């Protein structure tokens, strides 16, 4: 494959990843073919950088006009949720409702399909938003917040292709099953990009710690998903992304 073809393929993959992760008008204008979503999963960390950048711009703007760190952090989180259409928050809420409120695999999956939010989902969202907001407010300094947001959103999404490769879909339909199993190469590139972002943002020592924590989180989440519903779904992946964000942001806050 020559350079122009590689560039065109990489650009197409990034557009697919952006269309999956955000509501930004830079995604694919036409439906993608079978296997392309899984192949393009390596670019999910790149899409995460775009989401983190949106939050960082809002935080810096709020800080510049004199808003306190707490208000700026809330607006930054709102911006990231707006850019993503709150798809990952929705996945977290649906997952906790299903795993917490269902009896047996089929009932859990059925609850996860229900768009209505229940007690477990609401509590999960409160905890997720509170932890991320408090971490950003603690960091406070705009440049440090920018680094934390960029790294958190990239690294959290970097784990998803490897998780999809490792844990099979829990059902034959749905977002995750439709995406397919990512190639090992795509999963490795995504992990590499995520680790690179950790190194650039926090240095090698903290990057290694972040990689270990994210890996432990993915292993535990994979065990829970397999035991509870027999695999992963789009909601499970959304919840995993939220866990990754929380881990990285809390790690960044402890470095202050």
Residue 10 lies in a domain: no
pLDDT tens over the chain, length 256 residues: 677 777 888 888 899 899 888 998 875 545 466 578 888 899 999 999 999 999 999 999 999 999 999 999 999 999 999 999 999 999 999 999 999 887 888 899 888 988 889 999 999 999 999 999 999 999 999 999 999 999 999 999 999 999 999 999 987 766 666 667 889 999 999 999 999 999 999 999 999 999 999 999 999 999 999 999 999 999 999 999 999 999 999 999 997 6
Residue 9 lies in a domain: no
Burial classification of residue 100, based on how many CB atoms lie within 10 Å of its CB (0-12 exposed, 13-18 middle, 19 or more buried): middle
Nearest-angstrom CA–CA distance, 211 and 228: 25
Residue 204 lies in a domain: yes
Specify the pLDDT at position 37. Answer: 83
Which DSSP string do the residues of 77-97 spell out, in sequence order? HHHHHHHHTTHHHHHHHHHHH
Residue 2 lies in a domain: no
Residue 32 lies in a domain: no
Task: Give helix 142-166 / helix 204-229 axis angle, nearest 10°.
Answer: 40
CB 242 within 8 A of CB 142: no
Residue 209 lies in a domain: yes
Residue 6 lies in a domain: no
Question: Residue 206's domain spans which residues?
Answer: 38-254
Angle at 207 between CA 148 and CA 256, to 5 degrees: 45
């Amino acid at each position: 494959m020559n350079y122009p073809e590689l560039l065109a393929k990489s650009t197409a993959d990034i557009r697919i990843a952006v269309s999956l992760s955000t509501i930004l008008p830079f995604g694919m204008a036409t439906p993608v073919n079978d296997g392309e979503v899984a192949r393009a999963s390596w670019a999910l960390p790149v899409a995460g950088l775009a989401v983190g950048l949106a939050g960082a711009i809002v935080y810096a703007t709020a800080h510049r006009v004199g808003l306190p760190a707490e208000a700026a952090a809330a607006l930054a989180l709102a911006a990231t949720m707006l850019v993503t259409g709150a798809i990952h928050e929705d996945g977290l809420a649906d997952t906790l409702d299903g795993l917490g409120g269902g009896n047996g695999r089929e009932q859990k999956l059925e609850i996860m399909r229900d768009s209505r939010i229940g007690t477990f989902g609401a509590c999960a969202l409160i905890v997720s938003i509170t932890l991320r907001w408090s971490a950003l407010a603690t960091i406070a300094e705009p440049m440090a917040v920018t680094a934390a947001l960029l790294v958190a959103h990239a690294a959290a999404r970097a784990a998803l292709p490897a998780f999809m490769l490792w844990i099979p879909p829990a059902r034959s339909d749905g977002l995750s099953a439709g995406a397919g199993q990512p190639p090992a190469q795509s999963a490795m590139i995504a992990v590499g990009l995520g680790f690179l972002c950790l190194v650039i943002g926090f240095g090698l020592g903290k990057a290694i710690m972040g990689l270990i924590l994210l890996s432990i989180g993915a292993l535990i989440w994979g065990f829970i998903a397999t035991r509870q519903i027999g695999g992963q779904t789009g909601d499970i992946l959304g919840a995993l992304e939220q866990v990754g964000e929380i881990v990285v942001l809390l790690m960044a806050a402890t470095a202050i």
